[in-house]
Structure 1
Amino acid sequence: MNYRHAFHAGNFADLVKHAALLDLLARMQASPGPLSVFDTHAGRGLYDLAGDEAQRSGEARAGIVELMRAPDLPPALRPLRQAVVRLNGGEEANLYPGSPLLVAAALRKGDAYLGCELRPQEHSALGEALRSWPAARTACADGYVEVAARLPREGAALVLIDPPFEKSDDYERCAAALGALTRRNPAAVVMVWLPVKDLETFDAFLREAEDAYDGPLLVAEARMRPLTDPMKMNGCALVIANAPEGFDVPLKEICEWTVSRLGSGGKAQVWTA
């Protein structure tokens, strides 16, 4: 695999994923008792938006930079902006936090986080990024396998599945993991992020997810442009099992703002499958 998230850090898809993650985390932490959070594809945890990769792609300028400047930011996106402000010590976004850093900074006493990253160099950077948070641990391992083995069989748990989708079986493994993890722990909330390139691939994944999980799935789609070129990432989607009640409201805010502010001719929608 040659995927490097540094090229894409802070883009529109990160805004959707991370704003939703922070809202979901806060909702789950509103209940008493410890929370276990698992990240199957954690990445390096911290990204330099002034670095060569980010500057070359320019995706952050059309994503987090626009969010930081927006005067009309809806409530569901404000925690992400606040997290970026805290990280950078001001309104200018030179550094961008991945999901490991966002979760680690929000952990309460008794909560725990495990970030899995298969690539040794990225895993080493992840460990360095999380050094200040002893409750946040890492594993240099296949996240699908590691989380399946470590997920507690009961209690509050949140799993983020966010592969790069460069392997041909990632869609299949995501759907299978969603089903297997919720069977292992029926209380676990599992959120899958995926790119939206063409409708056929997206619909096929939803069918597989519905077959794997015996329950309603909350689906949020931020389609940034018409699906006319399947070689491009034309949008992104979140598919959530065991979504908390009312989570559709912030998801709609997040997707609608992202599409209307950063997209062109796209649409946002949230529904139950």
Structure 2
Amino acid sequence: MQVVASGAAPRYSAAMNYRHAFHAGNFADVLKHSVLALCLEHLNAKPKPYRVIDTHAGIGGYDLASSEAERSPEWKDGIGRLIDADLPEPVQAMLGPWLDIVREMNPDGIKAYPGSPEIAARLIREEDRVHLCELHEADSVTLDNRYRRDARIKVERRDGYKALKSLVPPKEKRGLVLIDPPFEDRDELAHMAEAVMGALAKWPTGTFIFWRSLKNLWAADRFDNGLAEWLISEKDFEPEKILRADLWIRDLASEGKLAGAGVVIINPPFTLEETLVNAMPWLAETLAQGNGYGWRVDGGLTEDDLDEGEG
């Protein structure tokens, strides 16, 4: 297992409420959406069609001039620091596909930010398909209105966790699942784990991306290690098919807004770990908002790692 980090070690932080309209384009989106774009680009490298399933789709895109964004303009310290930055080559390799989309949407200054549905919509090809689940009634209407003229995209007002097991494996046999819940439920990680295990049992070759906050590092590690143990011990997964990437912009024990977040990727592109390792030091330093910032990229979990996680 490779662990690379800078800054202070992450620690526990108190729980916070989370509504994405207030946080669109922040540091957590930078990591999540750049990883999503890289995974989609990897799928595009082969001619066979694929499907993208987004279990908590939101509204698709965000107006950075809206009252929500103006009340809490976290995008200014996320995408705002990167949109015009002179990126080193390794960072361009990580952020390029995602940043290209943001720039396409903002030819005259940054005013809009793409959610995961919009990133998928702009990267998939004519033969590929996207299935978007959103349970919130008003948001599902907004989402449907955004994509109703795109025959490649289906919007469904449905609990994404419950829908997932019936949506996999897709007929294309290739594709990606993004699970990005709002973390308003204290048992969110347990719900995620249950849905993931059911879906992976039916579609072990799909790429799965799970976003989770680092408000409680112990809970995140328990989820990560438990999932890895199940995949390796019960499903005979090779350790290199499990990858974790986390970013924190200040000490996780600090009060206030969300300080850390990251993703776990099952069946990642084989180049993804190296791409992230090369770019994350610069990204963490550039997005830092205080002391104790840092990052970690873990790939190739071993039995020793799982034993350590049990303590």
Determine if contact 1:221/1:255 at 8 Å carries over to the other structure: no
| Amino acid in structure 2 at the alignment position of 1:19 | S
SS in 2 for 1:60: helix
User: Over aligned residue pairs, what C-alpha RMSD do you find?
Assistant: 1.9
Look up the match of 1:97: 114
Determine if contact 1:176/1:212 at 8 Å carries over to the other structure: no
Determine if contact 1:11/1:64 at 8 Å carries over to the other structure: yes
Over alpha carbons, which structure has the higher Rg?
A: 2
Shift of 1:208: 2.9
Deviations 1:185-223 (A, max 9, x none): 121110101111232122122133224433332011112
Aligned equivalent of 1:86, options 104, 109, 115: 104
**Separation (CA, whole Å) in 2 of partners of 1:129 and 1:4:** 20
SS in 2 for 1:47: strand
| Amino acid in structure 1 at the alignment position of 2:295 | A
Shift of 1:88: 2.2
Deviations 1:114-146 (A, max 9, x none): 111000100111112223422011110000111
- Count of residues in correspondence between the two structures: 271
Aligned equivalent of 2:48, options 33, 37, 43: 33
Aligned equivalent of 2:164, options 130, 137, 147: 147
Deviations 1:28-70 (A, max 9, x none): 2212311110001000001000011001112011111111121
CA shift in 2, pair 1:10/1:253, >3 Å: farther
The answer to whether the aligner puts 1:187 opposite 2:205 as a matched pair is: yes
Q: Which runs of 5+ in 1 are unaligned?
A: none
The answer to whether the aligner puts 1:227 opposite 2:252 as a matched pair is: yes
Aligned equivalent of 2:72, options 57, 79, 90: 57
Look up the match of 2:81: 66
Aligned equivalent of 1:246, options 255, 266, 271: 271
Look up the match of 2:174: 156
Q: TM-score of the superposition, structure 2-length normalised?
A: 0.82
Higher relative contact order (CA 8 A, sep 6+): 2
Determine if contact 2:34/2:95 at 8 Å carries over to the other structure: yes
Shift of 1:169: 2.0
Q: TM-score of the superposition, structure 1-length normalised?
A: 0.93
SS in 1 for 2:83: helix
The 5 Å alignment of 1:19-30 reads: 19-30=34-45
| Amino acid in structure 1 at the alignment position of 2:180 | D
Greater mean alpha carbon deviation, residues 73-82 or residues 41-50 = 73-82
CA shift in 2, pair 1:35/1:210, >3 Å: same
**Separation (CA, whole Å) in 2 of partners of 1:242 and 1:23:** 13
Q: Percent identity?
A: 35
Q: Which runs of 5+ in 2 are unaligned?
A: 1-16, 302-311
